[in-house]
Each structure stands twice: as structure tokens, then as C-alpha cells.
Structure 1
Amino acid sequence: MTPEARLATVVDLMEEILRQDRPADAVAGAYLKSRRYIGAKDRRAISDRLWGIFRRRARLDWQIADCRQDPSPRRRLLADLVLTEGMTAETLAPLCTGGARGLEPLSPTDRALLKQLAGRDIFHHAMPASVRGEYPDWIEPRLTGVFGDALAAEMGALRDEAPVDLRVNTLKGDRDTARERLAAAGLAARPTSLSPIGLRLPARVALTAQEAFREGLVEVQDEGSQLLALLVDARPGHTVVDFCAGAGGKTLALAATMENKGRLIACDVNERRAEQATLRLRRAGVHNVTRRLLESEQDKWVKRHADSCDRVLIDAPCSGTGTWRRNPDAKWRLSAEGLENLIGLQGRILASAARLVRPGGRLVYATCSLLAEENERQVEAFLETHPGFKAIPLAEVWAATVGGTCPVDGPWLRLSPLRHQTDGFFGAVLERS
């Protein structure tokens, strides 16, 4: 593809994402897959520009509005090229010729925008905190309640692109073996600082082309997610339920700690997500998993299996605020109403799934959210109405499952990109008396 065609594709793909009520990565994946003429290098260049614009969207929109124009996919692209690449109307004009699959020529309005933006920095002293931090202004009081004076620094870390973390599948090898296999393929992975089964790559790579991935020795999983799976303390011979299993990332990790022994039930209400786990389970060599499609969190299956499980993990549906590094589009699709609906659903899931836990068993509640309403407050409200459960101190569980010094104080696991270089995660370990 020509540079002009790449830029036009960025605009077209951005418009397609905004038209659909689906995650941007799903829309982009389908879009690029259906256009076979777009090669690997072109896909990488298009994706880098597209995700960069999503990461800078609030600042780009503010700059465009400051020039008295309305944001649009095309204007966001033009503004991004000026503010991050230092391009001008003169250097952009040859890329906007209106040719086949190319950008339309610059209009007088475009040229006026480019002239006003010339020489500016992506940041501006007049920007509100929510614009500088790239988050919706309505959520600022909730985030301030969590981070206080550290909010700007925390949101700054959340703006950055996330690293590529891998979980070593201990059913097929150890971390040293995986690291050696990756090194032989030219990938310099380093051990993660907190997870004893994690590796971190310095940059994105085409993992599907790597033998270590195709053979199931490594899986893509953020270090924080790995830690949550370890804290479940699922052991060989246990009966374990992954109540909101989705595509199976934590299911795979639990199967590894169980050494493929015992019974692991992966539940979800979405059949398509559950089906996506099939290939991953096969590749990882996992054979102790039973998949269970539920009609809702109140499915009759839960009542029939009450008091029978050693461990129950609830990786609850949430706002995903802790994953904004990886899903920068998600912050602009989140609404206050949607958040309230999620909070209600989380409470219902927690109360229902708790019925599965046997006396002496454990319930682990986890989210990839930064918000107290989805985290501490959910657990505190549950404990008030379920006196048969108690919180297990995090340091105690950490020592028994992860090892080393626990990186957080207090009874709950709370991770953030700034303090722990992971996605934002929350976890609570509760035990039934």
C-alpha cells in the first residue's frame, strides 16, 4: 500500500469502529482480515496510527475544538500527523490527492486547521485534567476517590501502550525453558517482577508465528491477571469453578496450577466466548476442563451444585478501567448508566456464585477495574450480608501461592500500571467458615 492509502484506511477503519457497538479490536480484526490486499507491514502501520489516535483522542479533540472545528475521524488523523509528526499542509498535500483508496485533497477548512495547529504540542496548558489524562470527565470524582493527588500520574501511566506479557504454561515447561525458546527465535523476553510464571517482551510481535506459542508453551496474559489466577490457590484434585470464564485466559492458568488433575468447570453466559476457549485449551494440553453455558448468574445449575466447590473464581464483568492501556477505545464507550448496571450485575453474580463454595472453600472476587464501587465496596457489601465468609489477609495468601514480598498493603490486591507496571486489577480472597 502507498502511504496515502494507509492513511485513508485509518480514517475508514475509524469510521467503521465508531459505527459499531463492538470493541475496536474486534472491529479492526474483522476489517483487516476481509481485505487481503493489506499486507502485514501495512496492517502494523495502520494499527499503530489508529491506536495512537485512540490513546490521544481527548487531546486531539480538544485541539480541534480549540481551532473552532468539530472532531471527525479525518480531522483527528490530520491533527495527529501535525501534533505528533510535525507535518504541515505542504507535507500532507502529496498524501491527499484523492487517488484510488487515498485521502481526499485538503480543503480550505483542512488547511485552516493545519495552519492553526502548526507548531503546537499535543499537550496544552489550558487543557482540563480529564483531557490531559485521557479519560471521561464524568468519571473523575470516582477516580479521585481512589487515587487522590496521584490521579494525574496514574492516568498518565494508563495512557501509555501496555507491554506484551506472556504466561508460561507449566504443563509444558518452566520459565527458563520458555525464555530459551523465545531467545532462539530472536525474542529477548525478561522475567516479570511479580509473577513467577511470567515473561515480558520489549515490543509487540507476531506471536502466532512463534513455535513456543503454537505449541502452547506460552500464552498472552498480563502479569496482573497471572497473579490473580495464582491467588485462587487451585490445587490438584480440587473442584474449581471459573464462573465468568470468557475466552478462557484464567481457566488455562488454573488448569496449570491444578496440574491437569481435578475438575475445573468454565462457566459463561456467552456461547461465542466459550467456544473461543476450545482451541486455546487444546493448544495448552489442558484436559480437566468442562465448559458450562449458563442462562444467567441465577442458572439452576448453580443451585444444583451448591456447597460442592473448593475454589470459585469470579472474574466479574466490569468497566475495564484497568485495561485502558490495551483498550483505549473502551473509555469512550463507558457511560455512568452502563457503570451502574455493571455494579448491580456484579453484586448479583457474587451472591449467586458464593453458593457454590463448600465449607472451608474459597471464593475469589476479581475485576480489571480501578473503581472502588466495583471492588472494595462490592466485597464489603457482600461480607455484611454473608457472615459465613471472611476475608483472608492478602499477605498470607500471597506467601502461600506467589511467594516473595507482597507488593501491596491491606486485605485486598490492588494493582495499577504506575505502581506495579501491570494492568489495573483488584482481587479479594474470601473463605467460607
Structure 2
Amino acid sequence: MPEKQHQDPFEERLTAALRDTGGAFRAVDRTALVDAGRNRGRRALTRRRTGVLGGVAGVALIGVGGAMLLPSGGSDDGEQSSVASRATARASASAAAEPVSGDAILKSLKELLPEGEVSEEDARGSDEKPGPYAQVVFDDGEGAAAISLGFGRVEPGGSEVGQLTRCPDETFVPYDSCDSGRLEDGSTLRLLQGYEYPDRRVDTKLWSADLVTAEGQHVRVSEWNSPAQKGAPVTREDPPLSTEALEKLVTADVWRDVVAATPVRPAPTGSAPSSERERPPAVSGKDITQTLAGLLPAGLDVVKKGGQDTEFSYVVVDDGRGASLVQVNVQHGMDDVAGQLYASGETLPDGTRIATHQGVGDDRVPGVLMWTVDTMRPGDDGFRVVISEFNNGSAHGRPTRDAPALTMDRLREIALSEEWDKLR
């Protein structure tokens, strides 16, 4: 198998760290922990991208992030016991479940697959760090295909549930088909037929099924039309399992037993640092959209808009000469990377720091341009407003015009508008 899935050391360390530190906190503390982790992740991402702001993902992915999977710890029942005693009780309850070995997970997976040849088997049991998974190469006679199975926990009713089960925005994630809905038992299921690479530079298809139960148990099945996620040639037109087969596989009761048998490891007592807990709440994506739309000049039609629940929003505008994507990130707590972000920029008389960039918007799509104005207001809250625009109407799309719709002067004017300060 040219490249096995789930072998990224950073991903495994992150998963293990979240599993080891998340379960012992009450619901309010877990929220603070996720916020702190997300903040540190944004800063790390910013550090890695300092100096390469010209990439199409350079600013967008600070706001378009993946979901964090946390181990479940139950809801806060209002008891006056200590964090340590709650962690011990939860860990003991989890430890009472019989561990499910990697071999047992593989056996169940093979029994649930249709007739065919299975090879390149690999798995990890529920009691192994950083957590259980399985992967195989399956061939039904039409060509070898990788299939992987992953497990996790999310906070029931939390934002991660929506991130895992909503259909993605096609402006950034193109796909052929997506269906999301609630099952009779209260679980949420998403069936997605998309691609491994959003820019389609390789025609490797990725079809997936994500199930999140009412208790926050997460099961994901992924399949490709090649024997590996990356680095292997396409061997068939489509992955082997239909959406009906994916649904049957991901909803099998045996997988819930695997998640239930995964230990909730106790974490050190305490909570997120006070600086993280006390930072202002994340800015509403709806408020960002309204502010941006209100600052656009006359003559631009907003043909599409969207974004995240918080911190990120976008509009697609058209002045009659082609669509242009305009996106905004509004974030607090970015002052610790200001020196890197604005090292080559300027500081205005009121203390606002600003950096601008004009360059290539997507190095895999010829002709795409990205213009950016990045600002940070004075103050100790690290309030950052970043606006970027492109001469295409969607991420990874072909150019729709020679240059973005807004001039750099107008982009700067919008980014420095006092209207953004109302969101601080």
C-alpha cells in the first residue's frame, strides 16, 4: 500500500493530546479547552504561513478549519464533586467496558463488506493510543480501493456535530453529491461524494459517511477509487461502496460498542489559561457578513454569501465583468503573532498595523490572483481583520476576470472601516 491512512504523526499526537486532556472537564471547561486549542492552532497556522500569504488557503483556512474530536465525558450534572473525582468516575465507567481489539474491528469490517478480496489490513484497538481505527484495501473485481474506518467523540449538541455532519460549502469544497439528515434514533448522518483534492489536480474520489449519535459518538467510513488516499493511481471510476452500502456500514451497532469501549483518560486538574478564558467571544459569522455587505461599493451585486458560524465569512460579487470572491476573517487574540504578520507592513498614527499583498492566488490554477489587506487594531485584545479577494468566484475555480473586483485602495478602505470595531 503506497501510503497508509491515519499515519500522520502530528494528527496522531493532536488526537492523543485532546483525548488525554478533554474528558476530565465539565462542559463549560471543555468549551474553554476547545477555544484555547483552536486559538493556538490558528496562531500556529499563521506562523507557518507568514511570508507565504499569496497562497489561496493562506487566509481562508484560518477561518475554514476542521472539527476537533473530543472524548466524551458526560454532561455537567451539577454535582459538587471535584474535577478529579468526576474524571475518576468517568474513567472507571469507561474502563468497565470490554476493550475491542484491532483484530475484532477488522473482523467486523470484513463481515460487513460485500463479497470481494481484502488485503493490506491494519487496525488499532479501542485501548490503544491514540485511538481505534481500521483500514483495508478492498477489491470487488472492479479494482482495488482503500477503505478506512475511524472513531471519536464530540460534545453532544456542540458545534463540532454540525461541522462533521453538514454538507460543505461548494465555494470551497466541490463535491458531486451530499445528503445530511437525522435518523430515527436521534443520530445525524452525512453521506458525501467528493474528491481527495478540492482543486481536482488528481481525480482521486473520496466518498465518506459520518455518523454522530445523540450521545456524541462519531463513526466515519471513508473510501477511495484508488488503493491509497494519496500517492497511488486511480484504479476504478468510483469507490466500491454505494451510498446505501456506506450508510449500512457506518450505522452498524458494533461500531458504537467500539467507541463506548474507548477509555476516557483522566486529565490534570485545572482549566484553560485565564488569558484564553477571558478573551472576547468569537465574532458571529452573520455579523461579519452583514458588515462586509454594508461596506461594498455601489455597482457590485452580491450573487452568493456564506461562511462559518464564527470568525469567517465571504461574499461573491459581480460588477458585470465576472464573479469575484471576497472573504473576511475577524479574530481576537492574535497579538502574540503581530510581529510576524506585520514585520514588513506599516503602523498608522492611531497604532493600527497593516500589511498588504498582491500575488498568485492558487499555484495550481493558472491566472488566479489574490489581493489581501491584513490589519490589527491597537489594544491588548489582538483584534485582527483580514480581507482577501480573488479574480474567480470559488476556491480552486478558473479565473472569471482579469483582476479582482475591488481595487487595493478600496480593499484597504473596507478593512480599516470603523464598522469592524463594533464587533470587538
Q: Which has more helix, going by share of residues?
A: 1
| TM-score (normalised: structure 1) | 0.22
Flag the structure with more relative contact order, 1 or 2, with Cα contacts below 8 A and sequence separation at least 6: 2
